[in-house]
Amino acid sequence: MDSVRTPCNRGLSLIEVMLVAALGMVITAMALPALLNFQRSYRVHSDSGALASYLSTVRVRAASQYYPYRLDVDPTADTYVMEQLAQTTYNPFNAPSSTTYAAQSPAVYEGGTQYFDQGITISNCRPTGITPFPPPVTADPSTCTGEFYFYFNTRGLPVDNTGSALASGGVAIYIEGQNGLVDAVTVSSGGAIQTWNYSTSSSAWIMR
């Protein structure tokens, strides 16, 4: 009678396991920089999108409550918050520029403090190395240090701190990531709120 052979269940050798593990480590090492870069880019885009949405909320809030509002941005603490300002009584015989918006006493904040992601740099002036302005902005503000503000009057229109129309086409806030990626959120003098990304390859701002 012929003997019946039993299949041999042979596992992986130690060398084979080590080769598979080494191959996995090489693939992971190659993919990790791209993954980290994607994550950093996502944070910048996420922050710029959230800020643009919040600015729209501040604008609607000003018009619906018939109070001047502003968005307070603190680049040191990486935070922003919506603030209701004191009502202003306009004298028909005085120019609007004679009035300056002021905080209430005590200050009235709404919506809670919002935070930018860690590692994000915030500025109201263009980052170093970027020549063009994001449309329709045509100039930097007079100062680039400390807290800065976005004002909206009781009709929900963007204004400066005197209630006058915005100069230089509008205002912008720049959001820069650790990988050099830069987004901008602009508020035009006409009230349009837009987000932009700076393309290093074309040296131009691309609307997002």
Mean pLDDT split into 10-residue runs, the chain, 208 residues: 57 69 68 52 85 96 95 96 86 55 94 92 94 96 92 94 92 91 95 95 94
Q: Which pLDDT score, from 0 to 100, does residue 87 have?
A: 86
**Residue 8 pLDDT:** 56
* Helices first, then strands: H and E counts in the chain: 1, 10
Q: What pLDDT shows up at residue 54?
A: 96
Q: Quote the pTM value.
A: 0.77
Tokens 């202003």 sit on residue = 88
Q: What is the CATH code for 38-88+95-207?
A: 3.55.40.10
Domain boundaries, the chain: 38-88+95-207
Sign of CA dihedral 81, 149, 196, 32: negative
Query: Would you state the pLDDT for residue 190?
Result: 92
**172's tokens:** 């912008």
Q: Please, how many CA atoms are within 13 Å of residue 64, restricted to the half-sphere of its CB? A: 6
Per the rule left: phi > 0, alpha: psi between -120 and 50, beta: everything else, 30 is: alpha
Residue 100's pLDDT is what? 82
